[in-house]
Amino acid sequence: MAGNETYRQRRKLTPEMLAQLDAHVGPARKALDALTRPANADDVETAFTALSLNEVQTDDGGNGVRFGVTVPSGGCLYGYVPLTGPVTVETGGSIMDGGCLEMFGH
């Protein structure tokens, strides 16, 4: 089973790449916190495109919006905009399956 889950693992990034990603966290969190709740996938995508981050993947499961965003310098921002409560924004490499948003289920 563990072998079947490797597509979800994130690629390793250098400390320099992680530092570059960290510079995007504050502006991303601020833009997402400013969204009127409940936010939908289009709202989340618009918030990122306003930051010139255009490769956005979203998953709106009805309880909030999960997102994954490719940063041009390399790596990803990913997290969750719940219906209510705090936004989460994390950094890391892309997943082995490609892109930044891990999809659930099979």
* Predicted confidence (pLDDT) per residue in 70-95, tens digit: 999 889 999 999 999 999 999 999 99
Q: Give the Cα separation of 40 and 72 in Å (integer).
A: 24
The pLDDT of residue 1:
47
pLDDT averaged per 10 residues, the chain (length 106): 58 89 97 97 98 96 94 94 96 88 70
The pLDDT of residue 12:
87
Q: Which amino acid is at 9?
A: Q
Q: Are 91 and 18 contacting, i.e. CB atoms less than 8 angstroms apart? A: yes
| Strands (E) located in the chain | 55-60, 64-70, 76-82, 88-92
Q: Give the Cα separation of 50 and 99 in Å (integer).
A: 20
Query: What does the radius of gyration of the chain's CA atoms come to, in whole angstroms?
Result: 14
Three-class SS state of 68: strand
Q: Give the Cα separation of 43 and 38 in Å (integer).
A: 10
